[in-house]
Amino acid sequence: MKPFWWAMEGVIHAIRTERNMRVHVIAACLVTVFAFWLETSTMENLILFGWVVAVFTLELVNTAIERTVDLVTTEIKPLAKRAKDVAAGAVLVASIGAAVTASVIFVPHLIAVWNML
């Protein structure tokens, strides 16, 4: 049971210390609100949930890589910068994929709501 709580401490630490993680949490809350409001299907909700999990996971890995690089060196080194940039790039790619997917799912529902007004 202790490993679960240690892992939760890691998630909570990332939310408290990483601005981008907080942005992702807010985005996930907005996605949840839109999914309920627009009454998206179970399959659409699973797809959205998958993207939220992917983005959160990559942001946590990115944070771990940044902390590890900072632990190993305090000097500015090209390889250290590259490691951090590539990890951040993985989060960016997933975030763009999540945003495009959310748009593809939500826009038709929003158009339907608009047409009912």
Active site residues: 59
29: exposed, middle or buried (Cβ count in 10 Å: 0-12, 13-18, 19+): exposed
Q: CA angle 61-14-87, nearest 5°?
A: 25
Q: How far is CA 42 from the centre of its chain?
A: 20
User: In the chain, how long is the greatest CA-to-CA distance?
Assistant: 59
Which residues make Cβ contacts (< 8 Å) with residue 84, sequence separation at least 6?
Answer: 65, 66, 69
